[in-house]
Amino acid sequence: MERSEYEELRAGFTAAVSHELRTPLARLLTLLESAELPGADLQKLLRQARAEVEEMTELVDDILFLSELEREREVVSLGETEAAPVLRAAVDERLERAELAGLTLELRIEDEGLLVPLRRRMLRTVVENLLENAIRYAGEGATCVISLRGEDGRVILEASDDGAGIPEQDVPRLFERFFRSDRARTTRGSGLGLSIVKHVVEAAGGSVEARGAPGRGLDVRLNLPL
């Protein structure tokens, strides 16, 4: 990459980060100002303020993690990890949150012994981001199936839901940093989850694709070498 292209990319990224942080900061300031008004419900305002701080913390953590990946400070494909236990643990940890969101989680593992060329932390990050994406955006009454199988000498990890879906024109942009479709803009999230998934998988020699349409859910398929 030419230096001018790098500087343009860095400037764009900095501007996007600033924009994404400005919204929760503005909401936090509003909450603090409301706390000074007579008769304010301080406990409620404190809970809301905590939520804004947590959102900013998540955003900063995701930005730092993606930055480390891009600078290759994280060795993504160092060794192999047995995938099934990592998937099972990640799903179990999110069953309660999924239930609160009205989402049913299912796990389908065809081969318990499948290994993927990712460090355990990297695989866990990938699976957690896929699950968080479904919990936030699939919608009440939807079912999300996380599946793992071997196919033609590759490992296929898939997150498929039958929820609200997204406009077809938005599908190619799902893996862009900070991109959120119209529905996603009304919910919390850094907009970096699927970008991190793509970066990790491609660094390990794999590929990622997404399919979706309004009312027909979203399918994110990861293709990894054995």
Distance from C-alpha of 148 to C-alpha of 156, rounded to nearest angstrom: 6
One domain, residues 58 and 8:
yes
Domain C-terminal end among 16, 46, 70: 70
* pLDDT value for 165: 87
pTM: predicted TM-score of the whole model, two decimal places: 0.69
Instruction: Tell me if 208 sits within 8 A of 222, measured CB to CB.
Output: yes
| CATH number for the domain harbouring residue 34 | 1.10.287.130
Question: Mean pLDDT throughout 150-166?
Answer: 91
Residue 113 to residue 104: CA distance in whole angstroms: 25
CA distances from 79 to 105, 110, 115 (A): 29, 22, 10
- Compute the average pLDDT of residues 156-170: 90
> Does residue 177 have a pLDDT over 80?
no
The pLDDT of residue 160 is above 80: yes
Residue 52 sits in the same domain as residue 13: yes
Report yes or no on 75 lying in a domain.
Answer: no
Task: Tell me if 94 is assigned to some domain.
Answer: yes
Total number of domains constituting the chain: 2
pLDDT of 184 strictly over 50: no
For the stretch 32-69, pLDDT in tens is 888 888 888 989 888 888 888 877 777 777 676 666 66
Please tell me whether residues 130 and 159 are part of one structural domain: yes
**What pLDDT shows up at residue 122?**
83
Phi then psi for residue 196, to 5 deg, are -65, -45
Claim to verify: residue 85 and residue 48 sit in the same structural domain: no
Task: Tell me the backbone φ, ψ of residue 40, rounded to 5 degrees.
Answer: -65, 145
Q: Which residues face 109 on adjacent strands?
A: 148
Q: Which residues, including other chains, have CB under 8 Å from residue 6's CB and lie 6 or more apart?
A: none
